[in-house]
Structure 1
Amino acid sequence: MRDQRDGSPPAPGAGAPEGAAPAAPEGTGAGEPGGAGAGEPGGAGAGRALTFAEVDALAAQAHAGQTDRIGVPYIEHVRAVAHGLTPVGERLAQAGLLHDVVEDTAWTTEGLLAAGVAADVVSLVDAVTKRPGVPYPAMVRALAADPDAALLKIADNAHNSRADRQSALPPVDRARLTAKYREAREVLWPAVDRRLLETVVRRINPSLLDEEG
């Protein structure tokens, strides 16, 4: 999520980057964003979806040079989100690694599919990608209709809401984002299974469970 980035990659406890996006995907050459080199990060053999490790490598390349507003490499944020989702399944964990790739880098959903990312993972990434002209509250309400997309957004929200990340922001931004994330949780949390919710949030930001009750 872009709210806490400013041009380089963020870390576990950071937001999304703004600027310094990697080169745009061109063609399908192995090793290029959107490419399909069999057996290489960013490419899969015919009929084979990328593994978690390969998706992690793709995310690291895509967010290279990006940091959040507090100067943490952005890859740390998406890895923290994926870590929270790991117990729920690899599909959601991969989506956690890629959840900001379309919104904040030159990658497109078509490029991810061409690179070998599983279609259901790309669908989740697409669901949490901001659309021009769509207000954030409307996006959150739409996500609440899809439990998997809602859980992905909950993991992102939990990491962005960590006290160690929020405390490094200017007071005005901190107050605005705290309110924004709390309002999103009021919509998203009731939309998912409570057991899964607690499993994910406990791995990322357990203090939220005490706050929200």
Structure 2
Amino acid sequence: MPELTLADVDALAAEAHAGQFDRIGVPYVEHVRAVAAGVAPFGTGMRMAALLHDVLEDTPVTADDLLRAGVPFGVVATVRRVTRAPGVAYPAMLRQIVTDHSATLVKIADNAHNALADRAALLPEADRLRLADRYRGARAVLWPAVCPADVRAVVGIVNPALLAEVGGRARPPRPAEPGGRTGTDRPGPGVAARRAQEHAGGMERGWPVAPVVATRRGSAGRPRRGSRRCPTCSSG
């Protein structure tokens, strides 16, 4: 089977979302195209995943359908990662997403587009306030999971008005110590306790908090497979 092009995947998304409209009455495919534009700096595969990010959740299309259509396995894996399964609470979905760098970037772009002020202005006030709080809480989880440069790259394309928030929420670079080890690779008891308290406190307030996961490192200080450290940022 010939390898699908980005245009092929765009057409696939348009067909899957045909007849669907977003909360303000715009054809739904325009939303997924905006999300795909936000992750364009990260390559064609990321754009494909963004175009398809709502297909499994909001249409009859299945992951097997995508694979049979020729969508690359890695793209489908990212789409599955950002899909909210039936019965899964929104906080639990976010905790799943932030374990994967690609899925996190797609969701950051999705969040940024949903949070556009001109879109929100067309919603009833009650919905506007409720969704603004929801999206703000999600950013508090998503942004710290990747490096600030990645957040800025996505948000700067999709919703530049959010750039003012980046410095306070995105994960700051880790200062390197002698030997190449970073200062947070092995948190001491005080740091670990504080993280656990912050995690518990966030959950009590009803917002998901990225799980505290120790970074696993391989030879030469490189993250091992499965590490949540950002592969595009030398600061981790």
Compute the TM-score of the two structures, normalised by the length of structure 1: 0.76
Per chain length, whose mean CA-contact separation is higher, i.e. which structure has more relative contact order (CA < 8 Å, sep 6+)?
1
The Cα shift of 1:145 comes to 1.2
**Is 1:165 paired with 2:119?**
yes
For residue 210 of structure 1, give the secondary structure of its aligned residue in structure 2: helix
Q: In the alignment, is the contact (CA less than 8 A) between 2:57 and 2:83 conserved in 1?
A: yes
- Residues 87-129 of structure 1: per-residue CA shift (max 9 Å, x gap): 1111111111000111111100000000000000000110111
CA distance in 1, matches of 2:143, 2:60: 31
For residue 39 of structure 2, give the secondary structure of its aligned residue in structure 1: helix
Aligned to 1:78: 32
Letter in structure 1 aligned against 2:54: D
Aligned to 1:128: 82
For residue 24 of structure 2, give the secondary structure of its aligned residue in structure 1: coil
Aligned to 2:3: 49
**Residue of structure 2 aligned with 1:202, choices 152, 156, 168:** 156
Q: In the alignment, is the contact (CA less than 8 A) between 1:95 and 1:122 conserved in 2?
A: yes
CA distance in 1, matches of 2:45, 2:64: 18
Aligned to 2:54: 100
Aligned to 2:181: none
**Residue of structure 2 aligned with 1:118, choices 72, 77, 88:** 72
**Residue of structure 1 aligned with 2:131, choices 152, 177, 185:** 177
Number of aligned positions between the proteins: 167
CA distance in 1, matches of 2:3, 2:47: 14
**Is 1:190 paired with 2:144?**
yes
Aligned to 1:64: 18
CA distance in 2, matches of 1:161, 1:92: 21
For residue 70 of structure 1, give the secondary structure of its aligned residue in structure 2: coil
**Is 1:109 paired with 2:76?**
no
Identity of aligned pairs, percent?
A: 58
Aligned to 1:140: 94
Q: In the alignment, is the contact (CA less than 8 A) between 2:148 and 2:166 conserved in 1?
A: no
Following TM superposition, where does structure 1 have runs of at least 4 consecutive aligned residues deviating by more than 4 angstroms? Answer: none
The structure with the largest alpha-carbon Rg is 2
